[in-house]
């Protein structure tokens, strides 16, 4: 028993040996982002009306310390992320994409902890 104590006690004092508990100072990183889109084709009618796409990001694991995402849009030539609405369950976010011109929009969700990036393309046309 004394041998075990000589090894275990210094490890516990140094914070190296944790038995049956979680170290709250170690952050759970985002391991994966999955995005789904309601549509990948948008239109702008001659009268200026248009439809929109809803894109949802799901972050795994659900226990990630910072499960939020940042949305960006790279467009050729124009479309934009018009609105970002928080959603449930935790780790999800919804971006509503409303077109402002024809072309292709690449919508990207980046985890705020910087560990993951995922993109989806949306094509905007005039019918």
* Domain definitions of the chain by residue range: 26-125
> What architecture is the 26-125 domain classified under in CATH?
Sandwich (2.60)
Query: Which positions of the chain have pLDDT values less than 50?
Result: 1, 4-5, 7-9, 11-12, 14-18, 20-25, 79, 81-86
Question: Cα(118)–Cα(126) distance, rounded to whole angstroms?
Answer: 27
At 116 the pLDDT is: 92
At 88 the pLDDT is: 55
At 3 the pLDDT is: 53
């Amino acid at each position: 028993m004394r041998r075990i104590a000589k090894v275990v006690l210094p490890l516990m004092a140094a914070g190296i040996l944790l038995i049956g508990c979680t170290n709250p100072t170690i952050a759970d990183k985002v391991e994966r982002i999955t995005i789904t889109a309601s549509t990948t084709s948008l239109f702008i009618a001659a009268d200026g009306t248009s439809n929109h796409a809803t894109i949802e990001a799901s972050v795994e694991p659900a226990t990630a310390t910072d499960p939020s995402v940042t949305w960006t849009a790279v467009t050729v030539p124009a479309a934009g992320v018009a609105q970002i609405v928080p959603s449930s369950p935790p780790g999800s976010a919804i971006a509503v994409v409303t077109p402002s011109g024809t072309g292709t929009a690449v919508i990207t969700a980046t985890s705020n902890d910087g560990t993951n990036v995922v993109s989806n393309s949306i094509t905007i046309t005039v019918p």
